[in-house]
Amino acid sequence: MDFYLGLLQIIGVHTLLGLSAYVVLLTGQVSMAQAGFYAIGAYVAAMCTAMFGLHILPAIIVAGLVTAAIACVVGFPALRVKGLMLVVATLAFGEMVRLFFFNFSWQVERGGELIGPNSAEGFRAIRFFPENGWEIWHVTGFIWIVVAVVMGALWWIDNTRAGAVLRAVGHDETAAQSIGLNLTAVKVGAMTLGGLVAGMGGGIYAHTVTHIEHAVFGVLLATFAIAYPILGGLGSVFGTLIAVIFIQGFLVEGLRFLGDWRSLLFGALIVLAMNFRPTGLLGERMPRLFKRRGPDKLELKEAE
């Protein structure tokens, strides 16, 4: 049972990572910075609990807010470029964050031992859950409550005017600008929201593994982040969740018995999935009960 609860924890934190990229992808931008935001959230939340004694909930909120602020600052220069150049710029940011934590060292003494990030050795002893008597099912439940809240919030945004604005920019920037939308504000806002979600996900991740180091937050993690919403489809937040379950639950864990052949089959199945469902597992559109018509009106729409 512990194995399956642990797998649910992995799926939960990776869902938050994928949702952080989902928001940015709605505006038509491909960002490889999500691993960097995830790392910032992980280290900030770990410092809040392990070094300063905060509870896990305010710790991940602080981590999310700090990461959102950094994402906002990064968003202005990064989103001046498009396409491949944006991918390179955000990838460079992610690597810069990873190398920063590779060299970052700051420790304080708590309980007779030094606690905190120690450059290449990483950040050890992030023991909030075991020290406070949390069982594995408590942790799993907490993670999925956060995931449910985040998914619910993003689903609500997606079905409001804000979601329509994000999708309008993603579908046609010229047309969106012609009707008065501020492209920079929309893109930076999406990047900021994505940073918030990634920071919270990273904060939770750090406490589930209890030891983090810079190598975890590399290009592979950034690739997973954008693969989830692309594979699941941008029609709904639920596409990202299904893609995470498919990749982490089936491809990564379900094929573990194949040993070294797993990686080969992993890539082949991803290619097949994208060929048979090029718009994602759930497609670009999801049946909705309500469809927006005009700036302030909603009309009932039958499921398509």
Contact 176, 46 (CB under 8 A): no
Extents of the domains making up the chain: 2-221
129 pLDDT above the threshold of 90: yes
Q: What is the mean pLDDT of residues 145-152?
A: 96
- pLDDT for 300 equals 33
Tokens of 75: 């968003």
Strand stretches in the chain, DSSP E = 108-110, 113-115, 290-293, 297-300
Query: What value does the mean pLDDT take over residues 130-142?
Result: 94
Q: Which pLDDT does position 9 carry in this prediction?
A: 95
Q: Which residues contact 76 (CB under 8 A, 6 or more apart)?
A: 184, 188
Residue 144 neighbours by CB distance under 10 Å: 16
- Summary mean pLDDT of the chain: 86
Q: What pLDDT was estimated at residue 298? A: 37
Do residues 115 and 165 touch, judged by C-beta distance below 8 A?
A: no
pTM of the model: 0.88
Residue 115, helix vs strand vs coil: strand
Rounded CA-CA distance 112/301 in Å is: 63
Pick from 26, 54, 27, 59: nearest CA to 44:
59
Res. 291: pLDDT tops 60: no
What's the confidence (pLDDT) of residue 304? 36
Name which of 218, 274, 286, 205 is nearest 246 in CA terms: 274
Confidence of residue 22 (pLDDT cuts 50, 70, 90): very high
Determine the length of the chain.
Answer: 304
The mean per-residue pLDDT over the stretch 132-144 comes to 95
Q: Does 288 score more than 70 pLDDT?
A: no
Spell 11-44 as b/e; 16+ CB within 10 A means b: bbbbbbbbbbbbbbbbbbbebbbbbbbbbbbbbb
- pLDDT of 290 reads 35
Closest CA to 36 of 81, 84, 7, 78: 78
What is the model's pLDDT at position 283?
67
The pLDDT, as a whole number, for residue 247 is 87
Mean pLDDT of 29-48: 95
pLDDT band at 286 (very low <50, low <70, confident <90, very high): low
Q: What count of Cα atoms within 13 Å lies in the side-chain half-sphere of residue 230?
A: 18
> What pLDDT is stored for residue 303 in this prediction?
35
Per-residue pLDDT of 239-279, as tens digits, reads 999 999 988 888 888 777 777 776 677 677 777 776 777 66
